Amino acid sequence: MIIPRLSLKSLWNRRGMAFLTIIAVAVSVMLLLGVEKVRTGARASFTDTISATDLIIGARSGGVQLLLYSVFRIGDATNNVSWQSYQDIAAQPQVEWIVPLALGDSHEGFRVVGTSVEFFDRYHYRGDRPLTFASGRAFSDLFDAVIGADVAARLGYEVGTQIIVSHGMDRLGIAQHDDKPFTVSGILAKTGTPVDRSVHISMEAIEAIHVDWRSGAPPRPGEETPIAEVRAMDLTPGSVTAALVGLKSRLGIFALQRYVNEYREEALTAILPGVALFELWGILGAAETALIAVSAMVVATAILGMITTILSTLNERRREMAILRAVGARPMHIFGLLVAEAGLLAFIGTALGVALLYVALLILRPIVDARFGLYLPITAPTSREWIVLGIVVLSGFIAGAIPALRAYWNSLADGIIVRT
């Protein structure tokens, strides 16, 4: 018990240096655990981008590719699914609900998604959270549009704003459906999913804006079909890009998946979104590793700074060590004193870092969730995090051995004799 008490008194006598070292360790530990919390939160948010959906159906392609264009709005489908095939799948006894998705158009660089009103009830994320409206309502008129939170924030739109849909991913606004404008009927609350960056219109509206288009070419000026005539037309979709499917019982997932994959009328694919999400996250694992590596290097830098600080004070403490030796302290006592000092600095810094992290989480969690849609759960440190914290504290003790060895070999005369 002598060495710990002596270490505390020694650190108190040099409290300025000790305070700065503790702060450096605390900030590095806070960053390390913060990155871990963000990493696990991002992974959970990513894998919960879509939930309560049993299957995603699209044209024959890879599972990740189907997930990318149907959920993340990245890339394009290899082909569309015919409306007849869509109806055949919807008629299967296992199916409780099915929501169509039609992609291909855009607005100011944001994807336009054709779907049904049921999409706003059936699309769930982050466990089982449904979509909610920040303002307005779902589309009811043929030319209503529901926009995501990011679309509204970036473009400054509000309910009642008129928008023009562009043909394809046309960022320059050259090929536009400007003869059939849409009115924003609702703005969705922030979700942290691709829904935030999407403009949603009805499947019938997708057909309506393409009534006059032939082979991807717009109608000539003056040849556009009036909106009143379009409203009177049969706007049953000819095809869909993909479909989200919910089943009456999860026991029927594999049976329906096999039915779709073996569908004879056209080549289709049915994927389990959870499996595809984990597969996609595995592809993105390099970024996760990079985050961990950067935070670990920050901790290593703090430990190296502590070693440097202790080493720099050794020359000033030679007389202190000599006096301790003179009153009976053995070399191992000197060694233990410096190791204990470094360990205490690491322990106190680690404890302070953990406390600062949870204070920051309490303050920032609602802000991060509302602005970025990233949910950071406030939970006790996991077993992995406890191991990391133990390694940081142990590293402090080990780091203290470097200056302790130097002090260990200092002789009594080296501390007493004044060199000139």
Model confidence over 268-324: pLDDT tens digits? Answer: 999 999 898 888 877 766 666 777 787 778 777 777 777 776 666 655 565 666 666
* pLDDT reported for residue 179: 85
Structure tokens that stand for 220 in this block: 């000539």
* pLDDT reported for residue 102: 96
Q: Which of 88, 58, 104, 103 is nearest to 267 (CA)?
A: 58
User: 45-97 pLDDT, tens per residue?
Assistant: 777 889 999 999 999 998 999 999 999 998 888 899 999 999 999 999 999 99
In a domain, 276, yes or no: no
109 and 238 share a domain?
A: yes
In a domain, 71, yes or no: yes
CB 342 within 8 A of CB 7: no
In this prediction, residue 412 has a pLDDT band, given cuts at 50, 70 and 90, of: very low
In a domain, 280, yes or no: no
For the chain, what is the domain count?
Answer: 2
Angstrom distance (rounded) from CA 230 to CA 20: 72
In a domain, 73, yes or no: yes
212 and 328 share a domain?
A: no
pLDDT at 420 over 70: no
Among residues 271, 303, 329, the one where a domain terminates is 271
Among residues 271, 303, 334, the one where a domain terminates is 271
33 and 115 share a domain?
A: no
DSSP-H helix ranges across 211-252: 227-231
In a domain, 278, yes or no: no
pLDDT at 257 over 90: yes
Lowest-confidence region among 211-215, 223-227, 354-358: 211-215
237 and 362 share a domain?
A: no
Structure tokens that stand for 204 in this block: 């019938």
| Higher-scoring residue by pLDDT: 289, 235 | 235
Angstrom distance (rounded) from CA 185 to CA 365: 30
In a domain, 343, yes or no: yes
203 and 323 share a domain?
A: no
Angle between helix 2-13 and helix 15-47 axes, rounded to 10 deg:
100
pLDDT at 11 over 70: no
User: 359-397 pLDDT, tens per residue?
Assistant: 999 998 888 777 766 777 788 888 888 988 898 888 878
245 and 384 share a domain?
A: no
In the chain, % of residues over pLDDT 70: 81
Q: Which of 420, 65, 73 is nearest to 276 (CA)?
A: 65
Q: What is the mean pLDDT of residues 343-352?
A: 87
| Higher-scoring residue by pLDDT: 338, 397 | 397
Query: Kindly report the CA angle at 245 between 239 and 248, in degrees rounded to 5?
Result: 140
pLDDT at 106 over 70: yes
119 and 252 share a domain?
A: yes
Among residues 244, 271, 298, the one where a domain terminates is 271
343 and 404 share a domain?
A: yes
Lowest-confidence region among 111-125, 237-251, 291-305, 309-323: 309-323
Q: Which of 303, 311, 313, 296 is nearest to 393 (CA)?
A: 303
60 and 42 share a domain?
A: no
In this prediction, residue 415 has a pLDDT band, given cuts at 50, 70 and 90, of: very low
In a domain, 277, yes or no: no
* pLDDT reported for residue 323: 61
CA 287 to chain centre: 11
pLDDT at 39 over 70: yes
254 and 312 share a domain?
A: no
pLDDT at 161 over 50: yes
Name the pTM for this structure: 0.74
In a domain, 238, yes or no: yes
Angstrom distance (rounded) from CA 198 to CA 250: 29
CB 238 within 8 A of CB 205: no
Q: DSSP per residue over 52-83, as a string? A: S--EEEEES--HHHHHHHHTS--S--SSPEEH
* pLDDT reported for residue 172: 53
Lowest-confidence region among 58-67, 172-181, 294-303, 402-411: 402-411
* pLDDT reported for residue 122: 95
By residue range, what is the domain housing residue 100?
55-271
* pLDDT reported for residue 98: 97
29 and 61 share a domain?
A: no
296 and 182 share a domain?
A: no
